[in-house]
Amino acid sequence: MRSTALLVDARFTAHVNGPGDPERVERIERLLRVAERPERDGIVRVAPRPALPEEILAVHAPEHYERVAASAGRPFTRFDPDTTACAASFDVARLAAGGVLEVVGTVLDGRAQNGVALVRPPGHHAESNAVMGFCLFNNVAIAAAWLRRRGVARVLIVDWDVHHGNGTQEIFWESPDVSFLSVHQHPLYPGTGLPTETGAGEGAGATLNVPLPAGCGDGEYVEVFERIVRPAADRFAPDFVLVSAGFDTHRDDPLGGMQVTGAGYRELTRILLEIADRHAGGSIVFVLEGGYDLDGLEEGVRAVLETLAAPTGTTVSAREVRGHETENKEEGT
Ligand SMILES: [Zn+2]
């Protein structure tokens, strides 16, 4: 059984969007209950801390930081039609970004083998100088930049959120050391993420986009991960893997049009774990992005947590994991 660093915190509920916003506090309330009963052993609890200004400024412009900071203490700020802040949002956003760094640091220092950071607000739409799509600071990008500064040579970010991670793509567009691989629904918000978007300059070829039509389920996703994501990751040979894990690809999600189930999330997690085993000594951290159906969100997070417990070996064979799942099914879980 592998150890998994797990972070979720009640303070993430202090970020309150406008009434009716799907990115709501109940998401964290549900995940707090999941974390209370993770239904597996080997969990290493991690507490968040606020990200330092210099950690955030490694990927965001000073004006961006100041724009979010200016919302602190004000009852309500509307940045764009989707993205708002309450008086506490700046503090919560710093806690979310710093929480991801704590989980990543726990894995980097070997206190856990992999990790799951259940944070909000989410991050992958936030560009270097644009608050966007529920996202204030780009948590996964801040973590990738932090890993680079800690001496990790090559960081892979796989984004399986139903929406394209335009912010992460923009931040690392010219970076050869951070590879961004996104599988997303298209057409859909924010409209970017075409196969022709592959990076520029020294980063040319380090960005890979796989847009999929609405209606794709477990079979299509596993096929894309096996045929496109895995070979691309093998070519890049990452030293650390980060996952922008949105669960709005779930079949019950109100924002996405995909059909992924818990079984699909288990298979995708297994593939990513194999990539991490092959290149990165098993170092992989999942960072929550979207996921707006509470039952679908719980199903997806539990699937990731369970799969990350897979026994350590030089490689985890698909047969081994599938056999393990069959055993569970026979127990009627
Ligand atoms: Zn999303």
- Model pLDDT, residue 311: 85
Amino acid at the residue 103: V
223 has pLDDT over 70? yes
pLDDT above 70 covers a percentage of the chain that reads: 93
Residues in contact with 244: Cβ distance below 8 Å, sequence separation at least 6, in sequence order: 123, 124, 140, 157, 158, 159, 160, 161, 165, 168, 182, 287, 289
Q: How confident is the model at residue 57 (pLDDT cuts 50, 70, 90)?
A: very high
Which residue(s) pair with 114 in the sheet?
Answer: 4
- Model pLDDT, residue 313: 55
Residue 291 alpha carbon to ligand 1 centre in Å: 7
Q: What residues act catalytically?
A: 125
**What are the extents of the domains in the chain?**
6-326
Instruction: Please return the burial class of 182, using the count of CB atoms within 10 Å of its CB with bins 0-12, 13-18 and 19+.
Output: buried
Which residue(s) pair with 178 in the sheet?
Answer: 155
pLDDT digits (tens, 9 = 90+) for 63-105: 999 999 999 999 999 999 999 999 999 999 999 999 999 999 9
Alpha carbon 139 to chain centroid distance?
9
332 has pLDDT over 70? no
Q: In the 8-state DSSP scheme, what is residue 130?
A: B
pLDDT digits (tens, 9 = 90+) for 287-301: 999 999 999 999 999
Identify the CA nearest to 179 among candidates 254, 111, 44, 280: 280
Helix axes 262-280, 318-330, angle to 10 degrees: 150
Q: Which of 99-113, 123-137, 190-204, 315-329 has the lowest mean pLDDT?
A: 315-329
Query: Was domain 6-326 assigned CATH 1.10.3720.10?
Result: no
320 has pLDDT over 50? no
Residue 34 alpha carbon to ligand 1 centre in Å: 21
Q: Do 169 and 180 contact (CB within 8 A), yes or no?
A: yes
Whether pTM exceeds 0.85: yes
333 has pLDDT over 90? no
The first and second tokens of residue 304, run together, are 């990731």
Residue 190 alpha carbon to ligand 1 centre in Å: 10
Residue 104 alpha carbon to ligand 1 centre in Å: 22
Residue 154 alpha carbon to ligand 1 centre in Å: 25
> Beta strand 178-185 with 284-288: parallel, antiparallel or unpaired?
unpaired
